[in-house]
Structure 1
Amino acid sequence: MLTLFICTSVLAETTVTIPRPYATYLVDGKSYKANDVDVKLSAGEHQLVICFEGNYSTHRSIELVSGEPLVINFKTDGQEHLTFDLPLLRDAPQARAFLKTQKLQLIDHNSKAVKTADIFELPKKEGLQIGRDYQEELLALGKAFQQPVINDDGSVSVNGKSGPVNLKDAVSGDKNLQSLEMLKYWYNRADPQARKAFQHWIITQQ
Structure 2
Amino acid sequence: MRIKNSVVVFGALLTALATAPAMAATFEVPRSFEIMYVDLESASQFGNDFKVDIDEGQHQIVVRFNKLLRSGGDTENFQSEPIVLDLQFEKNAYLTLKAPYISTKKQAESNAKDPQFTIYDDVNGQDVDYKKQNLATKSGLQNTRDYVTEIERLTAKNTLSNVSSGSSPVPAPILMTEDVALEMMQFWYNRSDEATRKDARIWIADDMYKPTVANIQLEMFQFWFKKADKEAKKSFQAWLVE
Band of TM-score, shorter chain: 0.5 to 0.7
- 1:20 partner letter: R
Where 2:143 maps in the other structure, the secondary structure is: coil
Report if aligned partners of 1:56, 1:63 keep a CA contact under 8 Å in 2: yes
Change (3 A) 1:143 1:18: farther
Distance 1:113 1:89 in 2: 24
Deviation string 1:69-103 (CA, Å, 9 cap, x unpaired) is 00011111121111122011122222222212112
Report if aligned partners of 2:36, 2:63 keep a CA contact under 8 Å in 1: yes
1:162 aligns with 2:175: no
Distance 2:35 2:189 in 1: 22
1:55 aligns with 2:74: no
Change (3 A) 1:91 1:16: same
Shift of 1:118: 0.7
Shift of 1:117: 0.9
Change (3 A) 1:58 1:170: closer
Residue in structure 1 matched with residue 110 of structure 2 by the alignment: 97
Report if aligned partners of 1:48, 1:71 keep a CA contact under 8 Å in 2: yes
- 2:188 partner letter: V
Residue in structure 2 matched with residue 27 of structure 1 by the alignment: 38
Distance 2:230 2:74 in 1: 43
Residue in structure 2 matched with residue 179 of structure 1 by the alignment: 232
Distance 2:190 2:98 in 1: 28
Q: Which has the higher helix share?
A: 2
Distance 1:160 1:100 in 2: 35
Shift of 1:176: 4.0
Aligned-pair Cα RMSD in Å = 3.8
Report if aligned partners of 2:71, 2:104 keep a CA contact under 8 Å in 1: no
Residue in structure 2 matched with residue 13 of structure 1 by the alignment: 24
Report if aligned partners of 2:84, 2:133 keep a CA contact under 8 Å in 1: yes
Report if aligned partners of 1:18, 1:39 keep a CA contact under 8 Å in 2: no
**Any stretches of 5+ residues in structure 2 without a counterpart?**
1-17, 164-169, 175-185, 205-221
Shift of 1:27: 0.6
Shift of 1:110: 5.6
Change (3 A) 1:79 1:92: same
TM-score by structure 2 length? 0.58
1:64 aligns with 2:77: yes
Residue in structure 2 matched with residue 75 of structure 1 by the alignment: 88
Distance 1:75 1:16 in 2: 11
Distance 1:117 1:46 in 2: 10
Report if aligned partners of 2:23, 2:53 keep a CA contact under 8 Å in 1: no
What is the number of residues matched between the two proteins?
173
1:43 aligns with 2:56: yes
Residue in structure 1 matched with residue 140 of structure 2 by the alignment: 127
Deviation string 1:123-161 (CA, Å, 9 cap, x unpaired) is 2223221142222112223449x99x9x68326333994
- 1:170 partner letter: F
Report if aligned partners of 1:30, 1:173 keep a CA contact under 8 Å in 2: no
Where 2:92 maps in the other structure, the secondary structure is: coil
Shift of 1:175: 2.2
Query: Relative contact order (alpha carbons < 8 A, sep ≥ 6): 1 or 2 greater?
Result: 1
Distance 2:231 2:147 in 1: 15
